Structure formats: structure tokens, C-alpha cells
């Protein structure tokens, strides 16, 4: 009986010691996790104050003004090293001819403004891959980081026929495109533009490729936010000529400068 009591006491002490060790281990693990989390937060605060960009990925939206049009962009980035980030981008833009001149509506009519001699609108949808290379950190949280950006990929061009309202010899008003009635389109009495809703079901594809390069200035106060101005140049090349205006040479190459205002987040 005494032996049984002795064994029971030993077992109880062993279980209590094991439980205490387990509790102590869990407490130590929690303390280690808290310390690691605190050190990570302190490191992020220190990097933020020093202007060091440290992240895994970013998402950026932007609007761009081009020497021959305007556009929207989206960019997703994956950081590879402290200076290099692989980027994947989408762009939607419109190219306008330098000779385009929007005229007022026809005399004594209520027609829309129109562009004389315009035969097609030209839109671009681009899918590409590129790289962002950090040239200089912010220096402090109120500074500006400077990065070189370059990308290239597929450019799908779409021609949408441009419609105008004209008055024929019988004083009837018709809404036509250039290919429908060339003589009336050029020499008829123009009442006004055909409207934004015309021609979307008649898009013609012009496949091609593009390349661009620029400098990105990120002036956001906090590193998890992207607020940037990008300035650069781009070249778009198409396999077929792109007719936009009458009496002007059709192009296959479009070299443009651009300025983009960009906003996004880093994680």
C-alpha cells in the first residue's frame, strides 16, 4: 500500500512538472513571437523613417497623358531583390492624329461637333511585362524615391469607323462612315458628328507590339502607399498601316512621350 502511494506521488509530481514545463515552453514561445513581431514593427518603422522601400508586391492604377492621346494603366509588381521588381501591366489608350481639329456643329443645326477628315478612331489594349529598378531611396519619409521602369509586350490596336451626319442632294440627313459613301463623306454638307455610340460593332483589329521606358518618382509619405509621377517614352509598332485621317500618310509606328499619375499600395 505504501509502495502504491509512493508511486502515485511520484507520478503526480512528474505530471505536474511536465505540465509546468509545457506551460513554461508555451509562455516562452509566446514571448518569442511577441518579440519577433515587435522587432518586425520596429524594423518597418525604422525603414519607413529612413525611406527604405521594403515590400513583396505592389498594385498601381494610373492615368496618362500622351503626346498623341491619353490612357489608363494597371500594374502589378513582384519584388525580386531590394532594387529589382518584376512588373506585369495592362494599358488602355487612344491615339489621336496630330491633324485632328474638332469643328463646331453645322450652321443653324443641332448636330454634334465633328472632326473633318477623320475616318477612324484608334484604340490600343496592351499586355506586357517589365521591370522596375530602384535608383535611389527616399532618404527619409518625406523624400522621393526614383526608379527606372521599362516594359514591352503585345499591343492590340482597334479601329472604330468614324461616323458623321451629312445632308445629301435631296436634303435628307444621313449618318455615314467613309467607306459607306466616300463622295458624300468628303463633299457633302456636314451637319455634325455621328455620336459616340456608332461603330463599336465594326471594330477592326491591328495587332502589334510595344516598348516603353521611363523614370518613376514616388513621393508618397508612407512606404505602403504609392503616389508617383512617371515620365517616359513609348514606341508602338503594328503589322498593318493605321488609317486615322484623310489626306494624311497612314502610319505603322507611333513614337510618343507620356506623363502618368499613379496611385496604389504595397504589401
- At 50 the pLDDT is 47
Say if residue 41 is in the same domain as residue 67.
no
- At 14 the pLDDT is 58
| List of residues 6+ apart from 53 with CB closer than 8 A | 82, 134, 137, 138, 145, 218, 223, 266
Say if residue 207 is in the same domain as residue 86.
yes
Say if residue 62 is in the same domain as residue 40.
no
Q: What grid cell was written down for 50?
A: 529612413
CATH code for the domain in which residue 205 is found:
2.40.160.20
Q: What is the pLDDT of residues 175-205, one digit of tens each?
A: 888 888 888 888 888 888 888 889 999 999 9
| List of residues 6+ apart from 223 with CB closer than 8 A | 47, 48, 51, 52, 53, 54, 55, 138, 141, 266
Say if residue 155 is in the same domain as residue 215.
yes
Say if residue 136 is in the same domain as residue 42.
no
**How do beta strands 189-193 and 173-177 pair?**
unpaired
Q: How far apart are CA 166 and CA 61, in angstroms?
A: 41
Q: Which of 256, 215, 254 is nearest to 233 (CA)?
A: 256
Of 66-75, 106-115, 142-151, 257-266, which gets the smallest average pLDDT? 106-115
Say if residue 109 is in the same domain as residue 201.
yes
Say if residue 122 is in the same domain as residue 187.
yes
Say if residue 45 is in the same domain as residue 64.
no
Question: pTM higher than 0.85, yes or no?
Answer: no
Residue-number span of the structural domain to which 126 is assigned: 55-266
Q: Say how many domains are in the chain.
A: 2
Say if residue 70 is in the same domain as residue 174.
yes
Q: What is the pLDDT of residues 107-143, one digit of tens each?
A: 444 567 888 889 999 999 999 999 999 998 776 556 7
Q: How far apart are CA 164 and CA 155, in angstroms?
A: 28
Q: How far apart are CA 77 and CA 79, in angstroms?
A: 6
Amino acid at each position: 500500500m505504501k509502495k502504491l502511494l509512493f508511486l502515485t506521488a511520484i507520478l503526480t509530481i512528474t505530471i505536474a512538472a511536465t505540465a509546468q514545463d509545457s506551460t513554461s515552453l508555451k509562455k516562452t514561445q509566446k514571448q518569442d513571437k511577441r518579440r519577433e513581431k515587435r522587432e518586425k514593427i520596429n524594423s518597418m518603422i525604422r525603414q519607413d523613417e529612413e525611406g527604405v522601400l521594403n515590400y513583396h508586391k505592389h498594385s498601381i492604377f494610373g492615368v496618362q497623358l500622351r503626346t498623341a492621346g491619353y490612357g489608363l494603366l494597371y500594374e502589378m509588381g513582384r519584388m525580386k531583390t531590394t532594387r529589382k521588381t518584376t512588373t506585369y501591366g495592362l494599358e488602355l489608350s487612344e491615339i489621336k492624329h496630330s491633324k485632328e481639329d474638332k469643328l463646331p456643329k453645322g450652321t443653324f443645326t443641332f448636330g454634334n461637333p465633328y472632326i473633318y477628315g477623320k475616318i477612324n478612331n484608334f484604340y490600343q489594349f496592351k499586355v506586357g511585362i517589365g521591370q522596375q529598378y530602384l535608383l535611389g531611396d527616399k532618404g527619409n519619409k518625406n523624400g522621393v524615391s526614383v526608379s527606372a521602369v521599362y516594359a514591352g509586350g503585345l499591343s492590340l490596336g482597334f479601329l472604330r469607323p468614324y461616323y458623321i451626319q451629312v445632308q445629301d442632294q435631296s436634303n435628307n440627313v444621313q449618318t455615314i462612315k467613309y467607306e459607306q459613301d466616300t463622295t458624300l463623306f468628303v463633299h457633302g454638307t456636314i451637319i455634325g458628328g455621328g455620336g459616340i455610340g456608332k461603330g463599336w460593332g465594326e471594330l477592326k483589329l491591328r495587332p502589334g507590339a510595344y516598348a516603353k521606358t521611363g523614370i518613376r518618382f514616388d513621393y508618397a509619405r508612407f512606404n505602403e502607399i504609392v503616389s508617383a509621377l512617371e515620365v517616359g517614352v513609348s514606341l508602338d509598332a503594328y503589322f498593318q498601316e493605321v488609317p486615322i485621317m484623310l489626306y494624311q500618310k497612314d502610319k505603322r509606328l507611333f513614337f510618343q512621350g507620356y506623363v502618368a499619375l499613379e496611385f496604389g499600395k504595397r504589401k
